[in-house]
Amino acid sequence: MTIEILMPALSPTMEEGTLAKWLVNEGDSISSGDLIAEIETDKATMEVEAVDDGKIGQLLVPAGTEGVKVNTPIALLIDSTESPHTSIKSIADKPYLEKEKITTELKIEKTVTLEPNSSIITVREALRNAMAEEMRSDKKVFVMGEEVAEYQGAYKVTQGLLDEFGNKRVYDTPITEHGFAGIGIGAAFGNLKPIVEFMTFNFAMQAMDQIINSAAKTLYMSGGQMGCPIVFRGPNGAASRVAAQHSQCYASWYSHCPGLKVVSPWSSKDAKGLLKSAIRDPDPVIFLENEVMYGQSFSCPDDDDFLIPIGQANIEKEGSDVTIIAFSIMVGKSLEAADILNEKGIKAEVVNLRSLRPLDIETIINSVKKTNRAVTCEEGFPFAGIGAEISAAINENAFDWLDAPVNRVTGKDVPMPYAANLEKLAIPQVDDIVNACSEVCYKS
């Protein structure tokens, strides 16, 4: 009996990992539940437990190997009566037995161009740097949320903040969103500058009343006395395979409300520049991140005072035939779509909104006047969505310039399904953008 022990998937998004350390040797007897190895993912180092009883026949992947794909055999488990290296001859011709061949294989990512005075960092690092820089320069800034301190953040965005700033500036809260959102708002009324992390924006639904009724409206109700300088931040939008209650885009919900500012970064540069502006802003800002983007790397300015103004969109790619208007993760998908469209002879311009409220209507309209066609992209539901708002703005401001009706790419009008095939259908994909653009160019 030989059982292959496979590289396990340790999180919903893990495709590969580093086999950091073996905790067993060849010839060791193990039983189910014993620790056998330490594996590093982009989020954490985790211990792997054996699921069967037996003896370690051979370790196939040496400790320290990076980029080991999920489901690659990493060791062979044999009967406790056999001796190591004997029963494995029958499969010895399999390529994975040649240990040397499993070398450090870095994930091939799109090449990122390093801009001057910048570093290539992940969106996660950019967000953390933005918070740390603002906390250094302004003692009124503090962070609170579930697992943000000792656990270093459920998605590791607040990593290291407790170490640097201590427990007077970084607070683990109980799982009580409505309560701690309200406490943050009260602290902001008391002249502090809270950054409130929601583990994900799905859980901010518990806190909706405080966000809308207290944070957004009090300045108005107090005739301008009661400013509320607070940032509510956390991942928003579709995550991977977590189904309807954990996978939803709330951009249109918050953007609906006067009194709030709503921003949603795509790249590391956006993340840093917008989060710093949000922290410095005197109004409540809803800061919508995206879990899938956290691990992606981009060039990001090093400057401690690098800011991106709230309310300004950015043209990520110029084009003459159609304007794609997107935010957050959909910007990356739109750029991919633009490359494909280019091969089909359609030159797409990609507008990264960055802010949803206030919305940079001027940039959108100027682009549409140039291309005469527009496609909006979002992960949220179509009904009363961001695309509907943009489409109305285009109608109101550039109707005479349009050569085709505005087309919307959105998440499907259904709660997010769990099944892999249905989830893929529900989330807007690059092809959907390509098709929507071809349609408005009458080239489908």
Partner 1 sequence: MKKNISSLVKNKSKMNYDLDLLKDMYKKMLLIRRFEEKAGQLYGMGKIGGFCHLYIGQEAVVVGIQSAQIEGDSIVTSYRDHGHMIACDMDPKGVMAELTGRVDGYSKGKGGSMHMFSREKGFFGGHGIVAAQVPIGAGLAFAHKYNSNNNVCITYFGDGAANQGQVYESYNIASLWQLPVIFVIENNKYGMGTSVNRSSAGDNLSDRGKAYGIESEIVDGMDIIAVREAAIKAIEYCRLGKGPYILEMKTYRYRGHSMSDPAKYRTRDEVEKIRKTSDPIENIKVLLNKMGVADKVLKDIDVEIKSIIADAAKFAQDSPEPSPSELYTDITIN
Ligand X SMILES: Cc1ncc(C[n+]2csc(CCOP(=O)(O)OP(=O)(O)O)c2C)c(N)n1
* Closest distance to partner 1 from the beta carbon of 247 (Å): 9
| Residues 6+ positions from 87 with CB-CB distance below 8 Å | 1, 2, 57, 78, 79
Among 31, 32, 103, 395, binds partner 1 (CB under 8 A): 32
Does 172 sit near partner 1 (CB under 8 A)? yes
Rounded distance, CA 28 to CA 294, Å?
A: 39
Question: Could you say which residues in the range 195-234 bind partner 1, by CB under 8 A?
Answer: 202-203, 205-206
* Per-residue DSSP letter, 248: B
Give the residues lining the site for ligand X (CB under 6 A): 146, 175, 177, 199, 203, 206
Alpha helices, DSSP H, located in 36-193: 123-137, 161-165, 177-189
Angle between helices 329-343 and 430-440 (to 10 degrees): 60
Q: Is 23 one of the binding residues for partner 1 (CB under 8 A)?
A: no
- Compute φ and ψ for 193, nearest 5 degrees: -125, 85
Q: Name the minimum Å distance from CB 397 to ligand X.
A: 40
Catalytic residue among 177, 378, 379, 389: 177
Alpha-carbon Rg for the chain, nearest whole angstrom, is: 25
Confirm whether 85 is a catalytic residue. Answer: no
- In whole angstroms, give the CA distance from residue 367 to residue 323: 6
- Cβ distance to ligand X smaller for residue 199 or 441: 199
Shortest distance, position 254 Cβ to ligand X, whole Å: 17
Residue 118 within binding range of partner 1, rule CB under 8 A = no
Q: Is 60 in the site for partner 1 (CB under 8 A)?
A: no
Whole-number Å distance between alpha carbons of 371 and 346: 11
Region from 239-247, 262-270, 327-335, 429-437 binding partner 1, contact rule CB under 8 A: 239-247
Active-site annotation holds for 246: yes
- The interface mask with partner 1, positions 395-414, x = CB under 8 A, is -----------------xxx
Segment contacting partner 1 by CB under 8 A, of 171-179, 297-305, 365-373, 429-437: 171-179
Residue range at the interface with partner 1 (CB under 8 A); choices 1-9, 106-114, 276-284, 316-324? 1-9
Is residue 51 a contact residue for partner 1 (CB under 8 A)?
yes
Is 14 among the residues that bind partner 1 (CB under 8 A)? Answer: yes
- Catalytic annotation, pick one of 134, 246, 289, 389: 246
Cα–Cα distance measured from residue 271 to residue 253, given in angstroms and rounded to the nearest whole number: 21
Helix, strand, coil percentages, rounded to 5, for the chain: 30, 25, 45
**What's the CA gap between 254 and 365, in Å, rounded?**
23
Q: What is the DSSP letter of 200?
A: S
In whole angstroms, the minimum distance from the beta carbon of 248 to ligand X comes to 13
Question: What's the closest the beta carbon of residue 176 comes to partner 1, in angstroms?
Answer: 5
The distance of closest approach from Cβ of residue 393 to ligand X in the complex, given in angstroms and rounded to an integer, is 34
Chain position whose Cβ is nearest to ligand X = 203
Q: Which two tokens stand for residue 398?
A: 């550039």
Size of the site for partner 1 (CB under 8 A): 54
Nearer Cβ to partner 1, position 84 or 382?
A: 382
Adjacent-strand bridge partners of 54: 30
User: Which of 336, 398, 387 has the alpha carbon at shortest distance from 363?
Assistant: 398
Tokens 């981009």 -> residue = 298
Q: Which is nearer to partner 1, 105 or 209 (CB)?
A: 209
Contact 19, 63 (CB under 8 A): yes
Q: Is the peptide bond before 358 cis (omega within 30 degrees of 0)?
A: yes
Neighbours of 309 (CB within 10 A): 12
Catalytic center residues: 177, 246
Residues that bind partner 1 (CB under 8 A): 6, 8-12, 14, 32-33, 35, 41, 43-47, 51, 70-71, 146-147, 150-151, 154, 172, 174-176, 178-179, 202-203, 205-206, 239-246, 412-415, 417-422, 425-426
